[in-house]
Chains A and B, each alone.
Chain A
Amino acid sequence: MTTAPPVARGPLSSEPPPLPDPEPVARIQVRKLHAWFGGFHAVRDVSLDIPTRKVTAVIGPSGCGKSTFLRCLNRLHELTPGARAEGSVLLDGVDVYGRRVDPVVLRRRVGMVFQKPNPFPTMSIRDNVLAGHLLSGTRVPDPEAMVERSLRQVALWDEVKDKLDQSGMSLSGGQQQRLCIARVLAVEPEVILLDEPCSALDPIATARIEELLGELESRYTIVLVTHNMQQAARTSDYTAFFYLGDLVELDRTTTIFTNPKERRTEDYVTGRFG
Protein backbone atom coordinates (compact mmCIF):
# COMPACT_ATOMS: atom_id res chain seq x y z
CA MET A 1 0.00 0.00 0.00
CA THR A 2 1.59 3.19 -1.06
CA THR A 3 -1.30 5.41 -0.06
CA ALA A 4 -0.56 7.63 2.89
CA PRO A 5 -2.58 7.14 6.06
CA PRO A 6 -5.56 9.45 6.06
CA VAL A 7 -4.34 11.52 8.97
CA ALA A 8 -1.44 13.90 8.46
CA ARG A 9 1.43 13.46 10.87
CA GLY A 10 4.62 15.29 11.54
CA PRO A 11 7.99 13.57 11.12
CA LEU A 12 9.36 11.68 14.08
CA SER A 13 12.30 13.96 14.43
CA SER A 14 10.16 16.99 15.26
CA GLU A 15 9.93 18.17 18.82
CA PRO A 16 7.51 16.16 20.92
CA PRO A 17 4.16 17.90 20.98
CA PRO A 18 3.05 19.45 24.26
CA LEU A 19 1.59 17.04 26.73
CA PRO A 20 -2.16 16.85 26.66
CA ASP A 21 -4.29 18.16 29.46
CA PRO A 22 -4.71 16.10 32.61
CA GLU A 23 -7.77 14.28 31.31
CA PRO A 24 -6.44 13.22 27.92
CA VAL A 25 -8.68 12.73 24.92
CA ALA A 26 -9.20 9.16 23.88
CA ARG A 27 -7.75 8.38 20.53
CA ILE A 28 -8.95 4.78 20.63
CA GLN A 29 -12.49 4.12 21.74
CA VAL A 30 -13.51 0.51 21.97
CA ARG A 31 -17.23 -0.16 21.98
CA LYS A 32 -18.94 -3.49 22.66
CA LEU A 33 -16.01 -5.48 21.31
CA HIS A 34 -16.40 -9.26 21.11
CA ALA A 35 -13.89 -11.74 19.76
CA TRP A 36 -14.21 -15.42 19.03
CA PHE A 37 -11.94 -18.33 18.14
CA GLY A 38 -14.38 -20.59 16.36
CA GLY A 39 -17.09 -21.09 18.96
CA PHE A 40 -14.93 -19.89 21.84
CA HIS A 41 -15.87 -16.43 23.07
CA ALA A 42 -12.49 -14.99 24.09
CA VAL A 43 -13.31 -11.28 24.50
CA ARG A 44 -16.76 -10.37 25.80
CA ASP A 45 -18.39 -7.01 25.34
CA VAL A 46 -15.41 -4.81 26.09
CA SER A 47 -15.89 -1.04 25.98
CA LEU A 48 -13.08 1.30 26.98
CA ASP A 49 -11.21 4.44 26.00
CA ILE A 50 -7.46 4.41 25.51
CA PRO A 51 -5.93 7.80 26.28
CA THR A 52 -3.72 9.51 23.75
CA ARG A 53 0.03 9.71 24.40
CA LYS A 54 -0.16 7.63 27.53
CA VAL A 55 0.89 4.11 28.36
CA THR A 56 -2.10 1.94 29.07
CA ALA A 57 -1.26 -1.42 30.61
CA VAL A 58 -3.48 -4.47 30.14
CA ILE A 59 -3.17 -7.03 32.92
CA GLY A 60 -5.00 -10.19 33.86
CA PRO A 61 -4.48 -13.90 34.37
CA SER A 62 -3.18 -16.06 31.54
CA GLY A 63 -5.83 -16.83 28.96
CA CYS A 64 -8.11 -13.95 29.91
CA GLY A 65 -8.00 -12.49 26.41
CA LYS A 66 -5.37 -9.77 26.69
CA SER A 67 -3.54 -10.72 23.51
CA THR A 68 -6.79 -11.28 21.68
CA PHE A 69 -8.05 -7.84 22.74
CA LEU A 70 -4.80 -6.25 21.60
CA ARG A 71 -4.91 -8.04 18.26
CA CYS A 72 -8.42 -6.76 17.69
CA LEU A 73 -7.14 -3.19 17.83
CA ASN A 74 -5.09 -3.58 14.64
CA ARG A 75 -7.29 -6.30 13.16
CA LEU A 76 -4.58 -8.93 13.37
CA HIS A 77 -7.04 -11.17 15.18
CA GLU A 78 -8.98 -11.84 12.01
CA LEU A 79 -5.92 -13.43 10.36
CA THR A 80 -6.13 -16.42 12.72
CA PRO A 81 -8.04 -19.28 11.09
CA GLY A 82 -11.61 -19.39 12.39
CA ALA A 83 -11.29 -16.15 14.36
CA ARG A 84 -13.71 -13.24 14.12
CA ALA A 85 -14.54 -10.04 15.95
CA GLU A 86 -17.62 -7.89 16.42
CA GLY A 87 -18.22 -4.44 17.78
CA SER A 88 -16.32 -1.31 16.99
CA VAL A 89 -12.91 0.17 17.58
CA LEU A 90 -12.84 3.89 16.82
CA LEU A 91 -9.49 5.36 15.89
CA ASP A 92 -9.86 9.13 15.85
CA GLY A 93 -13.58 8.59 15.56
CA VAL A 94 -13.40 6.22 12.57
CA ASP A 95 -14.44 2.62 13.11
CA VAL A 96 -11.53 0.43 12.07
CA TYR A 97 -14.01 -2.35 11.43
CA GLY A 98 -15.88 -0.12 9.02
CA ARG A 99 -16.32 -1.37 5.51
CA ARG A 100 -14.09 1.26 3.95
CA VAL A 101 -11.12 0.76 6.25
CA ASP A 102 -8.27 -1.20 4.73
CA PRO A 103 -6.65 -3.30 7.48
CA VAL A 104 -3.34 -2.93 5.69
CA VAL A 105 -3.43 0.86 6.09
CA LEU A 106 -4.70 0.54 9.65
CA ARG A 107 -1.76 -1.64 10.64
CA ARG A 108 0.64 1.02 9.50
CA ARG A 109 -1.00 3.47 11.90
CA VAL A 110 -1.23 0.93 14.72
CA GLY A 111 2.09 -0.88 15.03
CA MET A 112 2.60 -4.08 16.99
CA VAL A 113 5.46 -5.64 18.94
CA PHE A 114 5.07 -9.32 19.69
CA GLN A 115 5.84 -11.43 22.72
CA LYS A 116 8.61 -13.31 20.99
CA PRO A 117 11.12 -11.19 19.08
CA ASN A 118 10.47 -11.89 15.41
CA PRO A 119 12.96 -10.12 13.16
CA PHE A 120 12.87 -11.30 9.55
CA PRO A 121 15.57 -13.99 9.48
CA THR A 122 16.51 -13.53 5.84
CA MET A 123 16.95 -9.77 6.15
CA SER A 124 19.91 -7.75 7.41
CA ILE A 125 19.56 -5.53 10.46
CA ARG A 126 19.24 -2.51 8.19
CA ASP A 127 16.53 -4.13 6.09
CA ASN A 128 14.70 -5.24 9.21
CA VAL A 129 14.44 -1.62 10.33
CA LEU A 130 13.22 -0.63 6.88
CA ALA A 131 11.02 -3.71 6.54
CA GLY A 132 7.75 -1.82 6.78
CA HIS A 133 8.77 0.30 3.82
CA LEU A 134 10.35 -2.53 1.84
CA LEU A 135 7.22 -4.61 2.28
CA SER A 136 4.92 -1.97 0.93
CA GLY A 137 7.33 -0.58 -1.64
CA THR A 138 7.20 2.91 -0.14
CA ARG A 139 10.11 5.06 -1.20
CA VAL A 140 12.13 6.30 1.74
CA PRO A 141 13.90 9.59 0.95
CA ASP A 142 16.87 8.95 3.24
CA PRO A 143 16.94 5.32 4.37
CA GLU A 144 20.27 5.57 6.17
CA ALA A 145 19.01 8.43 8.30
CA MET A 146 15.81 6.56 9.05
CA VAL A 147 17.74 3.46 10.09
CA GLU A 148 19.96 5.48 12.38
CA ARG A 149 17.11 7.49 13.88
CA SER A 150 14.99 4.41 14.55
CA LEU A 151 17.86 2.46 16.04
CA ARG A 152 18.86 5.39 18.21
CA GLN A 153 15.33 5.66 19.54
CA VAL A 154 15.57 2.10 20.84
CA ALA A 155 19.15 2.63 22.06
CA LEU A 156 20.45 -0.02 19.70
CA TRP A 157 22.44 2.15 17.32
CA ASP A 158 25.76 2.00 19.15
CA GLU A 159 25.53 -1.75 19.50
CA VAL A 160 24.82 -2.51 15.85
CA LYS A 161 26.10 0.41 13.81
CA ASP A 162 29.09 -1.60 12.61
CA LYS A 163 27.12 -4.64 11.55
CA LEU A 164 24.03 -3.31 9.86
CA ASP A 165 24.50 -5.82 7.05
CA GLN A 166 24.46 -8.84 9.31
CA SER A 167 21.34 -10.89 9.81
CA GLY A 168 18.87 -9.73 12.44
CA MET A 169 19.14 -13.22 13.90
CA SER A 170 22.74 -12.54 14.94
CA LEU A 171 21.53 -10.31 17.79
CA SER A 172 20.66 -11.31 21.35
CA GLY A 173 17.01 -11.73 22.30
CA GLY A 174 16.84 -8.32 23.94
CA GLN A 175 18.54 -6.67 20.99
CA GLN A 176 16.18 -8.47 18.61
CA GLN A 177 13.20 -7.16 20.54
CA ARG A 178 14.56 -3.62 20.39
CA LEU A 179 15.14 -4.15 16.66
CA CYS A 180 11.49 -5.14 16.34
CA ILE A 181 10.45 -1.97 18.15
CA ALA A 182 12.72 0.06 15.86
CA ARG A 183 11.06 -1.62 12.90
CA VAL A 184 7.68 -0.46 14.15
CA LEU A 185 8.93 3.07 14.88
CA ALA A 186 10.32 3.35 11.34
CA VAL A 187 6.81 3.03 9.96
CA GLU A 188 5.88 6.08 12.06
CA PRO A 189 2.71 4.71 13.58
CA GLU A 190 0.46 6.66 15.91
CA VAL A 191 -0.32 3.80 18.24
CA ILE A 192 2.05 1.06 19.40
CA LEU A 193 0.70 -2.20 20.76
CA LEU A 194 3.13 -4.33 22.77
CA ASP A 195 2.20 -7.88 23.75
CA GLU A 196 4.39 -8.89 26.69
CA PRO A 197 7.45 -7.48 24.95
CA CYS A 198 9.77 -8.35 27.83
CA SER A 199 8.64 -11.85 28.66
CA ALA A 200 11.58 -13.41 26.81
CA LEU A 201 14.12 -10.93 28.17
CA ASP A 202 16.43 -10.69 31.16
CA PRO A 203 15.99 -7.92 33.78
CA ILE A 204 18.55 -5.62 32.19
CA ALA A 205 17.02 -5.83 28.74
CA THR A 206 13.61 -5.43 30.36
CA ALA A 207 14.73 -2.28 32.15
CA ARG A 208 15.96 -0.81 28.87
CA ILE A 209 12.67 -1.46 27.16
CA GLU A 210 10.73 0.05 30.05
CA GLU A 211 12.97 3.09 29.89
CA LEU A 212 12.29 3.24 26.16
CA LEU A 213 8.54 3.14 26.74
CA GLY A 214 8.89 6.14 29.02
CA GLU A 215 10.64 8.04 26.22
CA LEU A 216 8.15 7.01 23.55
CA GLU A 217 5.16 7.89 25.67
CA SER A 218 5.35 11.58 24.82
CA ARG A 219 4.87 10.84 21.13
CA TYR A 220 2.83 7.66 20.88
CA THR A 221 -0.26 6.11 22.30
CA ILE A 222 0.97 2.87 23.82
CA VAL A 223 -0.93 -0.21 24.89
CA LEU A 224 1.19 -2.67 26.84
CA VAL A 225 0.07 -6.18 27.72
CA THR A 226 2.07 -7.50 30.63
CA HIS A 227 2.07 -10.28 33.17
CA ASN A 228 4.40 -8.34 35.34
CA MET A 229 2.49 -6.23 37.84
CA GLN A 230 5.56 -4.20 38.78
CA GLN A 231 6.09 -3.44 35.12
CA ALA A 232 2.53 -2.19 34.78
CA ALA A 233 2.96 -0.09 37.90
CA ARG A 234 6.31 1.30 36.79
CA THR A 235 5.55 2.15 33.20
CA SER A 236 1.86 2.82 32.73
CA ASP A 237 -0.46 5.72 33.38
CA TYR A 238 -3.64 3.69 33.06
CA THR A 239 -4.29 0.03 33.68
CA ALA A 240 -7.04 -2.23 32.41
CA PHE A 241 -7.75 -5.46 34.25
CA PHE A 242 -9.22 -8.33 32.21
CA TYR A 243 -10.68 -11.48 33.64
CA LEU A 244 -12.09 -14.40 31.63
CA GLY A 245 -12.65 -12.25 28.56
CA ASP A 246 -14.33 -9.40 30.45
CA LEU A 247 -12.93 -5.98 31.14
CA VAL A 248 -13.27 -5.72 34.89
CA GLU A 249 -11.87 -2.29 35.46
CA LEU A 250 -9.90 0.50 33.80
CA ASP A 251 -8.49 3.35 35.81
CA ARG A 252 -5.36 5.28 36.57
CA THR A 253 -2.60 2.84 37.39
CA THR A 254 -2.13 4.24 40.86
CA THR A 255 -5.83 3.74 41.56
CA ILE A 256 -5.83 0.19 40.22
CA PHE A 257 -2.89 -0.78 42.41
CA THR A 258 -3.88 1.09 45.58
CA ASN A 259 -7.60 1.53 45.60
CA PRO A 260 -9.42 -0.48 42.93
CA LYS A 261 -13.19 -0.38 42.80
CA GLU A 262 -13.64 -4.05 42.01
CA ARG A 263 -12.97 -6.84 44.42
CA ARG A 264 -11.58 -9.08 41.65
CA THR A 265 -9.04 -6.43 40.66
CA GLU A 266 -7.89 -6.08 44.23
CA ASP A 267 -7.54 -9.83 44.61
CA TYR A 268 -5.48 -10.01 41.43
CA VAL A 269 -3.13 -7.09 42.06
CA THR A 270 -2.50 -8.26 45.60
CA GLY A 271 -1.67 -11.70 44.31
CA ARG A 272 -4.58 -13.52 45.89
CA PHE A 273 -5.32 -15.37 42.66
CA GLY A 274 -4.26 -15.53 39.02
Chain B
Amino acid sequence: MSAAPAEALPHAAATTPSAPQRAPDRPRGRLGDRLFEGVTTALAIVVLLVPSAMLIELVGASRKAIGAFGASFLTSSTWDPVHGSFGALPFLWGTVVSSLLALALAVPVSIGVAIFLAELAPHRARGPLSFLVELLAAIPSVVYGFWGVFVLVPLLREHVEPWLAAHLGFLPLFQGPPLGFGMLAAGVVLAIMIVPTVSSIVREVLRAVPAAQREAAAGLGATPWDTIRFAVLPSARSGIVGAILLGLGRALGETMAVTMVIGNRPKVSVSLLDPATSMASVLANEFAEADSDLYLSALSEIALLLFGVALILNLLARWLVGATKGRVGSPA
Protein backbone atom coordinates (compact mmCIF):
# COMPACT_ATOMS: atom_id res chain seq x y z
CA MET B 1 0.00 0.00 0.00
CA SER B 2 2.61 2.45 1.05
CA ALA B 3 4.71 1.46 -1.96
CA ALA B 4 2.38 3.02 -4.50
CA PRO B 5 2.95 6.71 -3.68
CA ALA B 6 6.65 6.11 -3.16
CA GLU B 7 6.85 4.62 -6.62
CA ALA B 8 4.80 7.36 -8.18
CA LEU B 9 7.01 10.15 -6.87
CA PRO B 10 10.30 9.58 -8.72
CA HIS B 11 8.31 8.84 -11.83
CA ALA B 12 6.52 12.16 -11.64
CA ALA B 13 9.78 13.92 -10.85
CA ALA B 14 11.41 12.38 -13.89
CA THR B 15 8.75 13.34 -16.38
CA THR B 16 8.10 16.91 -15.30
CA PRO B 17 11.49 18.47 -16.12
CA SER B 18 11.95 16.52 -19.33
CA ALA B 19 8.64 17.62 -20.79
CA PRO B 20 9.67 21.20 -21.71
CA GLN B 21 13.00 19.92 -23.01
CA ARG B 22 11.39 17.59 -25.45
CA ALA B 23 9.23 20.21 -27.16
CA PRO B 24 11.98 22.00 -29.20
CA ASP B 25 13.40 18.60 -30.14
CA ARG B 26 10.31 17.53 -31.87
CA PRO B 27 11.11 18.36 -35.53
CA ARG B 28 14.52 16.72 -35.25
CA GLY B 29 12.86 13.75 -33.54
CA ARG B 30 10.56 13.38 -36.51
CA LEU B 31 13.42 13.45 -38.94
CA GLY B 32 15.19 10.82 -36.84
CA ASP B 33 12.04 8.74 -36.86
CA ARG B 34 11.83 8.91 -40.62
CA LEU B 35 15.50 8.04 -41.00
CA PHE B 36 15.12 5.12 -38.64
CA GLU B 37 12.08 3.93 -40.50
CA GLY B 38 13.89 4.20 -43.83
CA VAL B 39 16.91 2.25 -42.61
CA THR B 40 14.87 -0.52 -41.05
CA THR B 41 12.69 -0.81 -44.15
CA ALA B 42 15.78 -1.06 -46.33
CA LEU B 43 17.23 -3.76 -44.10
CA ALA B 44 13.97 -5.65 -44.15
CA ILE B 45 13.96 -5.53 -47.95
CA VAL B 46 17.53 -6.85 -48.04
CA VAL B 47 16.51 -9.69 -45.75
CA LEU B 48 13.74 -10.53 -48.19
CA LEU B 49 15.96 -10.11 -51.24
CA VAL B 50 18.68 -12.51 -50.15
CA PRO B 51 16.56 -15.66 -50.13
CA SER B 52 14.78 -14.53 -53.28
CA ALA B 53 18.13 -14.08 -55.02
CA MET B 54 19.23 -17.51 -53.82
CA LEU B 55 16.03 -19.02 -55.10
CA ILE B 56 16.44 -17.40 -58.52
CA GLU B 57 20.08 -18.48 -58.63
CA LEU B 58 19.17 -22.08 -57.75
CA VAL B 59 16.40 -22.21 -60.33
CA GLY B 60 18.83 -20.87 -62.93
CA ALA B 61 21.48 -23.39 -62.02
CA SER B 62 19.01 -26.27 -62.04
CA ARG B 63 17.53 -25.38 -65.41
CA LYS B 64 19.67 -27.88 -67.31
CA ALA B 65 18.71 -30.78 -65.04
CA ILE B 66 15.07 -29.79 -65.03
CA GLY B 67 15.13 -29.71 -68.82
CA ALA B 68 16.94 -33.04 -69.12
CA PHE B 69 14.97 -35.12 -66.59
CA GLY B 70 11.71 -33.25 -65.90
CA ALA B 71 9.55 -34.96 -63.34
CA SER B 72 11.50 -38.22 -63.58
CA PHE B 73 14.20 -36.52 -61.51
CA LEU B 74 11.89 -37.00 -58.53
CA THR B 75 11.08 -40.64 -59.24
CA SER B 76 14.30 -42.14 -60.58
CA SER B 77 16.82 -43.73 -58.27
CA THR B 78 19.65 -43.84 -60.77
CA TRP B 79 22.54 -41.65 -59.72
CA ASP B 80 25.19 -42.20 -62.34
CA PRO B 81 27.52 -39.25 -62.83
CA VAL B 82 29.65 -41.20 -65.31
CA HIS B 83 26.75 -41.68 -67.75
CA GLY B 84 25.08 -38.41 -66.88
CA SER B 85 21.90 -39.96 -65.55
CA PHE B 86 20.48 -38.44 -62.41
CA GLY B 87 17.48 -39.19 -60.20
CA ALA B 88 16.95 -37.70 -56.76
CA LEU B 89 14.69 -40.32 -55.23
CA PRO B 90 17.28 -41.94 -52.91
CA PHE B 91 18.20 -38.52 -51.54
CA LEU B 92 14.63 -37.42 -51.06
CA TRP B 93 13.89 -40.78 -49.50
CA GLY B 94 16.87 -40.64 -47.17
CA THR B 95 16.13 -37.10 -46.04
CA VAL B 96 12.44 -37.69 -45.51
CA VAL B 97 12.78 -41.07 -43.80
CA SER B 98 15.66 -40.09 -41.53
CA SER B 99 13.83 -36.89 -40.54
CA LEU B 100 10.55 -38.65 -39.85
CA LEU B 101 12.37 -41.34 -37.88
CA ALA B 102 14.06 -38.59 -35.89
CA LEU B 103 10.69 -36.99 -35.20
CA ALA B 104 9.15 -40.28 -34.13
CA LEU B 105 11.95 -40.73 -31.62
CA ALA B 106 12.35 -37.11 -30.55
CA VAL B 107 8.80 -35.81 -30.23
CA PRO B 108 7.63 -37.94 -27.29
CA VAL B 109 10.90 -37.30 -25.47
CA SER B 110 10.79 -33.56 -26.19
CA ILE B 111 7.23 -33.14 -25.01
CA GLY B 112 8.04 -35.12 -21.89
CA VAL B 113 11.11 -32.99 -21.21
CA ALA B 114 9.12 -29.80 -21.83
CA ILE B 115 6.29 -30.84 -19.52
CA PHE B 116 8.83 -31.69 -16.86
CA LEU B 117 10.68 -28.39 -17.24
CA ALA B 118 7.56 -26.25 -17.44
CA GLU B 119 5.22 -27.95 -15.01
CA LEU B 120 6.72 -30.62 -12.82
CA ALA B 121 10.35 -29.86 -11.98
CA PRO B 122 10.97 -28.17 -8.61
CA HIS B 123 10.65 -24.44 -9.19
CA ARG B 124 14.23 -23.72 -8.32
CA ALA B 125 15.60 -26.35 -10.70
CA ARG B 126 13.60 -25.18 -13.72
CA GLY B 127 15.87 -22.32 -14.78
CA PRO B 128 19.18 -24.23 -14.64
CA LEU B 129 17.72 -27.36 -16.25
CA SER B 130 16.16 -25.39 -19.08
CA PHE B 131 19.48 -23.67 -19.62
CA LEU B 132 21.25 -27.03 -19.84
CA VAL B 133 18.77 -28.31 -22.40
CA GLU B 134 19.19 -25.18 -24.48
CA LEU B 135 22.94 -25.59 -24.25
CA LEU B 136 22.61 -28.93 -26.03
CA ALA B 137 21.26 -27.03 -29.02
CA ALA B 138 24.49 -25.05 -29.19
CA ILE B 139 26.76 -28.05 -29.69
CA PRO B 140 28.11 -28.00 -33.27
CA SER B 141 26.65 -30.74 -35.40
CA VAL B 142 30.07 -32.16 -36.28
CA VAL B 143 30.46 -32.99 -32.59
CA TYR B 144 27.21 -34.93 -32.70
CA GLY B 145 28.59 -36.61 -35.83
CA PHE B 146 31.76 -37.68 -34.02
CA TRP B 147 29.75 -38.97 -31.13
CA GLY B 148 27.64 -40.86 -33.66
CA VAL B 149 30.64 -42.46 -35.33
CA PHE B 150 32.50 -43.42 -32.18
CA VAL B 151 29.71 -44.22 -29.74
CA LEU B 152 26.36 -44.64 -31.44
CA VAL B 153 27.40 -46.61 -34.52
CA PRO B 154 29.34 -49.29 -32.56
CA LEU B 155 26.48 -49.50 -30.07
CA LEU B 156 23.96 -50.01 -32.85
CA ARG B 157 26.17 -52.48 -34.70
CA GLU B 158 26.99 -54.65 -31.72
CA HIS B 159 23.86 -54.53 -29.61
CA VAL B 160 20.81 -52.76 -30.97
CA GLU B 161 20.73 -53.87 -34.60
CA PRO B 162 21.39 -57.59 -33.92
CA TRP B 163 18.62 -57.50 -31.33
CA LEU B 164 16.23 -55.75 -33.74
CA ALA B 165 17.06 -58.22 -36.51
CA ALA B 166 16.58 -61.18 -34.19
CA HIS B 167 13.30 -60.07 -32.64
CA LEU B 168 11.70 -57.85 -35.25
CA GLY B 169 13.49 -59.20 -38.30
CA PHE B 170 10.23 -60.42 -39.77
CA LEU B 171 9.41 -56.75 -40.47
CA PRO B 172 10.97 -55.38 -43.66
CA LEU B 173 12.06 -52.41 -41.53
CA PHE B 174 14.69 -54.41 -39.67
CA GLN B 175 16.22 -56.70 -42.25
CA GLY B 176 19.80 -56.88 -43.42
CA PRO B 177 23.24 -57.10 -41.86
CA PRO B 178 23.98 -54.93 -38.81
CA LEU B 179 26.37 -52.35 -40.21
CA GLY B 180 25.88 -49.58 -37.68
CA PHE B 181 26.14 -46.90 -40.34
CA GLY B 182 22.74 -46.38 -41.90
CA MET B 183 19.29 -44.87 -41.68
CA LEU B 184 18.79 -45.87 -38.05
CA ALA B 185 22.00 -44.17 -36.93
CA ALA B 186 21.06 -41.03 -38.85
CA GLY B 187 17.60 -41.00 -37.31
CA VAL B 188 18.92 -41.41 -33.79
CA VAL B 189 21.58 -38.70 -34.16
CA LEU B 190 19.02 -36.33 -35.66
CA ALA B 191 16.58 -37.13 -32.87
CA ILE B 192 19.16 -36.23 -30.24
CA MET B 193 19.95 -33.04 -32.10
CA ILE B 194 16.37 -31.84 -32.32
CA VAL B 195 15.25 -32.70 -28.79
CA PRO B 196 16.72 -29.46 -27.35
CA THR B 197 15.13 -27.33 -30.06
CA VAL B 198 11.71 -28.91 -29.82
CA SER B 199 11.62 -29.18 -26.06
CA SER B 200 12.64 -25.60 -25.42
CA ILE B 201 10.01 -24.26 -27.80
CA VAL B 202 7.34 -26.54 -26.33
CA ARG B 203 8.37 -25.39 -22.86
CA GLU B 204 7.87 -21.77 -23.90
CA VAL B 205 4.50 -22.55 -25.41
CA LEU B 206 3.42 -24.32 -22.21
CA ARG B 207 4.61 -21.42 -20.08
CA ALA B 208 2.56 -19.06 -22.25
CA VAL B 209 -0.64 -20.78 -21.09
CA PRO B 210 -2.00 -18.40 -18.43
CA ALA B 211 -1.70 -19.41 -14.77
CA ALA B 212 -5.43 -18.69 -14.46
CA GLN B 213 -6.16 -21.81 -16.46
CA ARG B 214 -3.95 -24.02 -14.35
CA GLU B 215 -5.58 -22.63 -11.22
CA ALA B 216 -9.04 -23.11 -12.68
CA ALA B 217 -8.27 -26.79 -13.16
CA ALA B 218 -6.45 -27.25 -9.86
CA GLY B 219 -9.28 -25.45 -8.06
CA LEU B 220 -11.74 -27.97 -9.47
CA GLY B 221 -9.77 -30.80 -7.96
CA ALA B 222 -7.63 -31.81 -10.93
CA THR B 223 -4.41 -33.68 -10.24
CA PRO B 224 -1.27 -32.03 -11.61
CA TRP B 225 -1.30 -34.45 -14.52
CA ASP B 226 -4.99 -33.86 -15.27
CA THR B 227 -4.31 -30.14 -15.15
CA ILE B 228 -1.62 -30.52 -17.78
CA ARG B 229 -3.73 -32.77 -19.94
CA PHE B 230 -6.95 -30.76 -19.88
CA ALA B 231 -6.00 -27.18 -19.14
CA VAL B 232 -2.48 -26.75 -20.51
CA LEU B 233 -1.90 -29.05 -23.49
CA PRO B 234 -5.11 -28.23 -25.40
CA SER B 235 -4.30 -24.52 -25.43
CA ALA B 236 -0.74 -25.26 -26.46
CA ARG B 237 -1.57 -27.72 -29.20
CA SER B 238 -0.89 -25.69 -32.31
CA GLY B 239 2.26 -24.30 -30.73
CA ILE B 240 3.45 -27.83 -30.10
CA VAL B 241 2.78 -28.71 -33.72
CA GLY B 242 4.80 -25.66 -34.69
CA ALA B 243 7.69 -26.73 -32.49
CA ILE B 244 7.62 -30.18 -34.07
CA LEU B 245 7.74 -28.67 -37.54
CA LEU B 246 10.70 -26.48 -36.55
CA GLY B 247 12.43 -29.63 -35.34
CA LEU B 248 11.59 -31.28 -38.64
CA GLY B 249 13.04 -28.29 -40.47
CA ARG B 250 16.26 -28.66 -38.54
CA ALA B 251 16.40 -32.41 -39.26
CA LEU B 252 15.77 -31.91 -42.98
CA GLY B 253 18.63 -29.47 -43.38
CA GLU B 254 21.14 -31.16 -41.10
CA THR B 255 24.22 -32.11 -43.11
CA MET B 256 27.35 -32.90 -41.20
CA ALA B 257 26.18 -35.31 -38.53
CA VAL B 258 23.97 -37.18 -40.97
CA THR B 259 26.69 -37.48 -43.57
CA MET B 260 29.01 -38.96 -40.98
CA VAL B 261 26.69 -41.78 -39.91
CA ILE B 262 24.18 -42.49 -42.68
CA GLY B 263 26.52 -44.60 -44.85
CA ASN B 264 26.12 -42.53 -48.04
CA ARG B 265 24.72 -45.13 -50.37
CA PRO B 266 22.24 -43.79 -52.96
CA LYS B 267 19.77 -46.66 -52.81
CA VAL B 268 16.17 -46.70 -51.71
CA SER B 269 15.70 -49.39 -49.07
CA VAL B 270 12.88 -49.97 -46.67
CA SER B 271 15.18 -51.38 -44.03
CA LEU B 272 16.37 -48.93 -41.41
CA LEU B 273 19.51 -51.04 -40.95
CA ASP B 274 20.68 -50.34 -44.51
CA PRO B 275 23.01 -47.48 -45.38
CA ALA B 276 21.26 -44.59 -47.10
CA THR B 277 21.98 -41.01 -48.07
CA SER B 278 20.30 -37.63 -47.91
CA MET B 279 19.92 -34.47 -49.95
CA ALA B 280 22.21 -32.45 -47.72
CA SER B 281 24.78 -35.26 -47.61
CA VAL B 282 25.06 -35.64 -51.36
CA LEU B 283 25.49 -31.91 -51.75
CA ALA B 284 28.28 -31.85 -49.19
CA ASN B 285 29.97 -34.96 -50.56
CA GLU B 286 29.77 -34.41 -54.28
CA PHE B 287 29.63 -30.72 -54.99
CA ALA B 288 33.40 -30.36 -55.13
CA GLU B 289 33.84 -33.27 -57.54
CA ALA B 290 30.98 -32.44 -59.91
CA ASP B 291 32.82 -32.29 -63.21
CA SER B 292 30.04 -31.81 -65.72
CA ASP B 293 27.45 -29.08 -66.15
CA LEU B 294 24.63 -31.58 -65.92
CA TYR B 295 26.06 -33.08 -62.71
CA LEU B 296 26.27 -29.60 -61.15
CA SER B 297 22.82 -28.79 -62.36
CA ALA B 298 21.40 -31.98 -60.85
CA LEU B 299 23.00 -31.14 -57.53
CA SER B 300 21.54 -27.64 -57.77
CA GLU B 301 18.12 -29.09 -58.31
CA ILE B 302 18.53 -31.17 -55.16
CA ALA B 303 19.48 -27.99 -53.31
CA LEU B 304 16.40 -26.33 -54.73
CA LEU B 305 14.18 -29.18 -53.55
CA LEU B 306 15.72 -29.04 -50.08
CA PHE B 307 15.31 -25.28 -49.96
CA GLY B 308 11.67 -25.51 -50.97
CA VAL B 309 10.80 -28.20 -48.46
CA ALA B 310 12.58 -26.42 -45.59
CA LEU B 311 11.05 -23.05 -46.47
CA ILE B 312 7.51 -24.34 -46.58
CA LEU B 313 7.92 -26.21 -43.30
CA ASN B 314 9.41 -23.25 -41.50
CA LEU B 315 6.71 -20.87 -42.65
CA LEU B 316 4.07 -23.31 -41.52
CA ALA B 317 5.77 -23.83 -38.17
CA ARG B 318 6.19 -20.14 -37.41
CA TRP B 319 2.63 -19.42 -38.30
CA LEU B 320 1.42 -22.17 -35.98
CA VAL B 321 3.60 -21.08 -33.07
CA GLY B 322 2.48 -17.48 -33.51
CA ALA B 323 -1.17 -18.48 -33.65
CA THR B 324 -0.97 -20.28 -30.30
CA LYS B 325 0.88 -17.51 -28.56
CA GLY B 326 -1.53 -14.90 -29.86
CA ARG B 327 -4.55 -16.88 -28.79
CA VAL B 328 -3.49 -17.76 -25.27
CA GLY B 329 -2.00 -14.32 -24.77
CA SER B 330 -5.30 -12.48 -25.16
CA PRO B 331 -7.94 -14.57 -23.46
CA ALA B 332 -10.42 -11.79 -22.69
Contacts and interface: CB of A to CB of B under 8 A. Distances in A.
Interface of A: 1, 61-63, 74, 76, 79, 81-82, 104-108, 111-112, 114, 116, 118-123, 131-132, 134-137, 169, 173, 180, 183-184, 187
Contacts of B222: 104, 132, 135-136
Contacts of B212: 114, 116, 118
B176 to A, nearest CB: 45
Contacts of A119: 216
A184 B216 CA distance: 10
Interface residues of B, number: 25
B215 A76 contact: yes
B231 interface: yes
In the A-B complex, list the 9 residue pairs whose CB atoms are closest, starting with the nearest.
A108-B221, A122-B234, A135-B222, A112-B219, A81-B123, A132-B220, A118-B212, A107-B221, A118-B216
A135 B221 contact: yes
A120 B223 contact: no
A183 B220 contact: yes
Interface in B190-236: 210, 212-223, 226-227, 230-231, 234-235
Contacts of B210: 118
Contacts of A76: 215, 218-219
A118 B331 CA distance: 9
A107 B230 contact: no
Given A79-B214, A180-B216, 18 more contacts: A62-B1, A63-B1, A74-B219, A76-B219, A104-B221, A107-B220, A111-B220, A114-B219, A118-B212, A122-B235, A123-B234, A131-B216, A131-B230, A135-B221, A135-B231, A169-B331, A173-B332, A184-B219
A79 B215 contact: yes
B332 to A, nearest CB: 7
A120 B221 CA distance: 15
* Residue among B1, B216, B219, B223 with the highest chain A CB neighbour number at 10 A: B219
Contacts of A136: 221-223, 226
B332 A187 contact: no
A114 B216 contact: yes
